[in-house]
Amino acid sequence: MLLAPSLYAQPSRPAVGYGVTAWRDGGYGAVRGATLGPIESSQHAGVGYGTAASAEALDELAALGCNWVSVTPFGRQWSLESTDIRMDFEAPFAANRENIVRFIAQAHARGLKVLLIPHLWLDMPGWRGEIGEKDRNGNPRAFTHDEWTRWFRSYTRFVTEWARAAERGGADMFSVGVEQKSSSGTRGEWFDVIDAVRRVYHGPLTYSANWDEADKVLFWDRLDVAGIQAFYPLATHEGATLTELRAAAVRRADELARWAVREQRPVMFAEYGYKAIVDTTLRPWEWPDGMTNVHVSGLAQAEAYRALLEAFVARPWFVGGYVWRYYANPMDSSQEEPWGFSPRGREGEEVLRELYDARVAWGADGVTAGRW
C-alpha cells in the first residue's frame, strides 16, 4: 500500500503526493542538478565535502544554473560476496557525517537544494548491481537466504545512519539505494529498508535504478520519485549524427513516458552523463579508467547532453536530473582520466548553462508543452 505523503512530510519539505505529475503539482519545480563527488583519497585532506573547496565548487554550480546538488557519501564492501558494509570511507564515519552536514548547510546558503545518495564502494573488482549473484572473479555465485539476511541487516544500518544525517542536516531528498539490480526486483527486504528510512528521515524518497533495471524494481509505489541512472546508449554505430542522437533520445523519452504512467511516479535522472570521447553514447556506462586508444572530444559530450536533455525537459512527468559529475574540490583533476565524465571547462558546460537557464521552459516548472 502506498504510504500517504501527509503522514511523513514536514512543512519545510512539502508532500510530493501521488501521480505521474505529482512533483510538478506539489510545486517543487524542475531539478537542474549536478552530482558533486567526493575527494576519493585520504591524501587530499581539507578539500572534500564541507570545506572551503566545496564552497567554491557550489559557487560554480550555482553560476552554471543549478538549483539542486547531489552528494554521494560512500560505505565500503569488500567484494560481491561480502555481507558486511563498513561505514568508514577514507575517514571515520563520524567525521564524514559532520562533513556532509556542513556541506548541506553550504549548499542551502547558496540557494541549492540537496539530494543525499549513499553509495557502496567495492574494494575488489565488480559492480554493485551484481552483489549476491557473482563472486569476486565474476563467476556466478548466488547468496543463500542467510547471506541475504545478513547483507540487508548491514545495509539497513548503513543507509539509515545516512538517513539520520540527512534529517539532521535538512537534506531535501534522500535515495534509499543505488543500482542494486541483483535484489531490487526480487527481494522483499527492500520494503523493510524503506520503512526503516521513513522512520528517521521525513523528506521525499527516491531510489537510483540503473537504466536497464527500472522496469523491474518492486517498490516504486513506496517512494515519491522514480530515480534512474540515465546512462542511456543513444547510438548504435560509430559516427552517429546529432540528428540520430536526438531521435534516439526522443524514443527513450516516449518509452519512459509510458512507464511513468504505468507506475504513476514522476521520473528523475538521479545521474546522467557522458564521457568526453568520440562516440560517447555507444557505451556511456563504461568507466574512463583504463581505457585505451581514446579520442578525446568535448564536443561529443556536449552533443550527447543536448540530445538527451532536449528530449526530456518539456515533459511534465520529468522531474529533472543531476549531471555526473563535478568534484568537491574544483581544482582537483586527479579524480578521473582527462576524457572522463566531468564537463568542467568543456563544451558541455555551455550546453548545461543554456538548458539550465531559469528562462528555459521545463515541464516540471508547470509548462505543459511537449509530447508525452
Annotated domain spans of the chain: 26-365
pLDDT score at 15: 65
| Angstrom distance (rounded) from CA 306 to CA 298 | 12
For residue 251, give every residue at least 6 positions away whose Cβ sits within 8 Å of its Cβ, in sequence order, or none: none
What distance, in Å, lies between the first and last C-alpha atoms of the chain? 27
Give the architecture (CATH level 2) of 26-365.
Answer: Alpha-Beta Barrel (3.20)
| Angstrom distance (rounded) from CA 238 to CA 282 | 8
Chain position carrying cell 515519491: 224
| Angstrom distance (rounded) from CA 43 to CA 61 | 25
| Angstrom distance (rounded) from CA 179 to CA 18 | 24
pLDDT score at 187: 96
CA 280 to chain centre: 19
Cα angle at 91 between 86 and 97, to 5 degrees? 80
pLDDT score at 1: 28
Q: Give the per-residue SS3 of 17-84.
A: CCCCCHHHHCCCCCEEEEEEECCCCCCCCCCCCCCHHHHHHHHHHHHHCCCEEEECCEEEECCCCCCC
Helix 298-312, helix 347-355: angle, nearest 10: 20
pLDDT per residue of the chain (372 residues) written in tens, 0 to 9? 233 333 333 334 556 878 999 999 988 999 999 999 988 777 778 899 999 999 999 999 999 999 999 999 999 999 999 999 999 998 899 999 999 999 999 999 999 999 999 999 999 999 999 999 998 888 999 999 999 999 999 999 999 999 999 999 999 999 999 999 999 999 999 999 999 999 999 999 999 999 999 999 999 999 999 999 999 999 999 999 999 999 999 999 999 999 999 999 999 999 999 999 999 999 999 999 989 999 999 999 999 999 999 999 999 999 999 999 999 999 888 888 999 999 999 999 999 999 999 999 899 998 544 333
Short-list 229, 306, 215, CA closest to 261:
215
β-bridge pairing 173-178 and 205-210: parallel
